[in-house]
Amino acid sequence: MKTTNNIWFNLDWATVVLYLILVILGWINIYAAVYSEEHQSIMDMGQKYGKQLIWIIAGVVLAIMVLSVDSKFYAAFAYHIYAATILLLIAVLFLGKEVNGARAWFEFGNIALQPAELGKFATNLALAKCISQYDFKIQKMRSYIILIALILLPSILIIMQNDTGSALVFAVFVFVFYREGLNGMVLFWGFAAAALFILSLVLDQFKLLLFLLSISVAAYGVLRQNVKEPLIGFLAIIAMLGLTWITDSLFSLDGTPLELLMITCTIATVLFIVYGILRRIGEVWRILLFFIFAIGISMSVNYFYKNVMAPHQRDRIDQVLGIKIDKLGKGYNVNQSKIAIGSGGVLGKGFLKGTQTKYNFVPEQSTDFIFCTVGEEWGFIGATAVLGLFLLLLIRIITISERQRSQFSRVYGYGVACILFFHIAINISMTIGLAPVIGIPLPFFSYGGSSLWSFTILLFIFLRLDASRTENLM
């Protein structure tokens, strides 16, 4: 089979076209978001859309430069790029300019650079290099520690810049590790912990304890693969609860429902242990461990939430979970964003006809809330189309990743998909009130050079690697 090394021939043009469509759609929506009748032309360099156009052109130049570099360079210098980025992240803590309470920007005259943006592809490169080393086995404890260290280092530095949103992005690499052989249970427990986190905030203690108790009994049934035992367990717990309640009323002890449930739990646990010892059932200990672990987590969640988290972070979570509704204060952004999107209807109000975005009711509408303009002016149809384009891009990247011969390229490709996925999912979710507002941009859409360029570099390094998929990188 004859292969050519011409990158223009091997380049995945489908992805390039998707990229260009998204960038141009983004530019059109930025124009609509800041549009005013008084503005002269769409090329007006004094306006955001004029600047974005410059950044798009610069982004294309940047993409061509990235493609021009030899593909071996990225694998060879992965650690160097990572180290340089870490140095920048440290430097910005001391030399950076503070914007909106985050010390995350270097400023050179008119150009501002955000090292956290570089951190995404730099970390991705380093992880790809690490995992693709031939003696690397992901199941080993040593590997876990190295991977976690590679992720934690930039994350902590970014958190120190007070940019928690960008730091959260790094959590998404767990899907990359999963693809590379990470035990599925880690993913499962991760999700379970997240679910528990949310439940601990939403449910009161009584309901939470009742829920955990029920889950434990059900889990026991799953482990033992029978129905009879958990059913008897359930009935026994209900009976005990009834008995404690009757005792409580008989002696007028005035116990709260939570106290009664806690007493029931204690008795049930003792009986459960006795049962396990007598019958020599090993699963009892695992369930017990799960139960105690879960209670521990839910208790620490409340502590973490009340004492560690910053008030504004707590507010954002409260708004999403509906614990507190404050449409004029803390929840103003999201409420206005939902009004803008919701008022778009099926077909939207039409290009430049969105009143909510045009008259500035939605804050940050050209950056973090750019999706509002899509939703308001193009309606459900337009929003679905944009969502579809993004999904198409993600699936395309995964598909390309899977065709790589080199593990480095594949890991990097998954990293690209996952980083984009996190941004897209969280950004759109926060505009419709599904996720807390953590201030991360919508890839290719949001106004701003730093984020556009970093996503461009992130994507085009992968396209460069893919163009050389037939070569041996290491």
Partner 1 sequence: MDVFSKRKYLVIGLFSLTALIILVRLFYIQVVDSSYKISAATNVLRREINYPARGVIFDRNGKLMVFNQAAYDVLVTPREIKAFDTLAFCSIVGVEKEELVNELIKAKNFSRYKPSPIIKQLSSQTYAVLQEQLFKYPGFYIQARTLRQYPAKIAAHVLGYVGEVDQKAIDANKYYENGDYIGRSGIERAYEDELRGVKGISYKMVDVHQMVKGSFEQGRLDTAAIIGKNLVSTLNADLQGYGERLLSGKVGSIVAIEPSTGEILVLASSPTFDPGLFVGRERSRNYSKLLNDPNKPMLNRAITSSYPPGSTFKIANALIGLQDGVLQNVRYSCNGPASAPIKCTHNHETPLGLISAIRESCNSYFWQAFKSEINHFSTPAEGLEAFRNSLLEMGLGRKIGGDLYSETSGNIPSVSYYDKYFGSGGWNSLTIRSLSIGQGELLVTPLQLSNMVTLIANRGYYISPHLVRSIQEYDGTQDTLKFEKHTIDAGRDNYEMIAQGMEEVVESGTARASAKIDSVIICGKTGTIQNPHGEAHSAFVAFAPRINPKIAIAVYIENGVWGARYAAPIASLIIEKYLKGRIAPGRQHFEDAMINSDLISTMKLEGGD
Residues that bind partner 1 (CB under 8 A): 175, 178-181, 328-329, 336, 338-346, 355-356, 358-361, 375, 379-380, 383-384, 387-388, 390-391, 394-395, 398, 401-402, 414, 417-418, 421, 425, 428-429, 432-434
**DSSP helix/strand/coil, 150:** helix
Integer Cα distance of 219 and 196 in angstroms: 15
Cβ at position 51, least distance to partner 1 in Å = 22
Residue 296 vs 329, nearer CB to partner 1: 329
Cβ at position 117, least distance to partner 1 in Å = 22
**Alpha-helical runs (H) found in 101-204:** 115-132, 141-160, 164-168, 173-179, 184-202
Around Cβ 234, how many Cβ atoms within 10 Å? Answer: 15
Residue 58 vs 174, nearer CB to partner 1: 174
Residue 59 vs 379, nearer CB to partner 1: 379
**DSSP helix/strand/coil, 111:** strand
Which DSSP string corresponds to 288-326?
HHHHHHHHHHHHHHHHIIIIIS-HHHHHHHHHHHTSS--
Which DSSP string corresponds to 13-32?
HHHHHHHHHHHHHHHHHHHH
Q: How far is CA 121 from the centre of its chain?
A: 15
Answer yes or no: are the C-beta atoms of 15 and 463 closer than 8 Å: yes
Answer yes or no: are the C-beta atoms of 337 and 369 closer than 8 Å: yes
Integer Cα distance of 169 and 415 in angstroms: 11
Cβ at position 127, least distance to partner 1 in Å = 16
Cβ at position 322, least distance to partner 1 in Å = 14
Cβ at position 340, least distance to partner 1 in Å = 7
Integer Cα distance of 95 and 93 in angstroms: 6
Answer yes or no: are the C-beta atoms of 435 and 426 closer than 8 Å: yes
Amino acid at 349: K
Cβ at position 402, least distance to partner 1 in Å = 6
Integer Cα distance of 154 and 164 in angstroms: 12
Q: What are phi and psi of 103, to 5 degrees?
A: -95, 80
Residue 1 vs 346, nearer CB to partner 1: 346
List Cβ neighbours of 202 (8 Å cut-off, separation of 6 or more).
321, 323
Residue 220 vs 414, nearer CB to partner 1: 414
Residue 358 vs 464, nearer CB to partner 1: 358
Residue 178 vs 234, nearer CB to partner 1: 178
Tell me how far apart the 2 most distant CA atoms of the chain are, in Å: 90
Integer Cα distance of 114 and 165 in angstroms: 14
Cβ at position 204, least distance to partner 1 in Å = 26
Q: Look at the block and give the residue holding tokens 């960008």.
A: 166
Cβ at position 363, least distance to partner 1 in Å = 8
Cβ at position 457, least distance to partner 1 in Å = 22
Q: How far is CA 163 from the centre of its chain?
A: 14
Residue 303 vs 359, nearer CB to partner 1: 359
211: which 2 tokens? 């829920």
Integer Cα distance of 257 and 135 in angstroms: 56
Cβ at position 131, least distance to partner 1 in Å = 12
Q: How far is CA 416 from the centre of its chain?
A: 13
Residue 89 vs 176, nearer CB to partner 1: 176
Residue 178 vs 305, nearer CB to partner 1: 178
Cβ at position 300, least distance to partner 1 in Å = 27
Residue 70 vs 326, nearer CB to partner 1: 326
Crossing angle (nearest 10°) for helices 115-132 and 141-160: 180
Residue 286 vs 353, nearer CB to partner 1: 353
Residue 102, beta-bridge partner list? 99
Q: How far is CA 152 from the centre of its chain?
A: 15
Cβ at position 211, least distance to partner 1 in Å = 22
